[in-house]
Chains A and B, each alone.
Chain A
Amino acid sequence: MRFAPPPGGASFFDHRPDVFAAFNVLYGTLWTDGAVDQPTKEVARLRNARVVDCGI
């Protein structure tokens, strides 16, 4: 793995949990708030993942 997680971590971003937490606060805000419903956002997320060939 090019970018391995730290021991006990789940992802490479666990090397900086403070930064990852801040990112997730923004991601969570965009996901849970706003005028667009979550199913629509999920469709957009899936389409984006497919276009860029992301496995997540």
Chain B
Amino acid sequence: MAYATWLPLEPGADVWDLIPGARDALRALYASLWQAGIDGELLERCRRRADALIDGLPTEDDTDCSERDRAALGFVEQYVIDPHGVTDAQAETLHGLFTAEELAALTTALATFDALARVRTVLGAVAGTPASIDITAT
């Protein structure tokens, strides 16, 4: 989980060394997610999907996926792109394919993958600064 960054760090250090305990806490969270009863391959695919969307890269082909996997990946896409866009129908489909326990774990996983992908993107932008970032209060 070492991230490339433009932050000033000591040689051999990475971002996670800046916050005592954060690396261990993240590892523990990852371990709990991978032990939560959801197929590890699906979780990894969800992580790659979030990364691809945030990095603006092509996403993997889902044609070989099960209905359950496609529903999870669709949930990832909606979560990353527009969480308000999750529909009642999408939620109903997810409830039909996952238990509430699995959905709680999957949603926590998505939150983690999304956040880490954004952090990695922001801190790893070594090629220059964006043209503009509009943070005007609304």
Residues A25 and B25 in contact in the complex (CB < 8 Å), given A19-B33, A33-B20: yes
- Chain B residue contacts of A12, Cβ below 8 A: 100, 103-104, 107
Bin the interface of chain A by size: 20 to 34
* B135 interface contact, C-beta 8 A: yes
B residues contacting the other copy or chain, number (CB 8 A):
30
Between A and B, how many residue pairs show CB distances below 8 Å? 80
Binding site for A on B (CB under 8 A): 18-22, 25-26, 28-29, 31-33, 36, 83-84, 86, 88, 91, 100-101, 103-105, 107-108, 111-112, 135, 137-138
16 A–B contacts, CB within 8 A, in A order: A2-B88, A2-B91, A3-B91, A6-B100, A13-B108, A16-B36, A18-B32, A19-B36, A20-B108, A22-B33, A23-B112, A25-B25, A26-B22, A26-B29, A33-B20, A47-B137
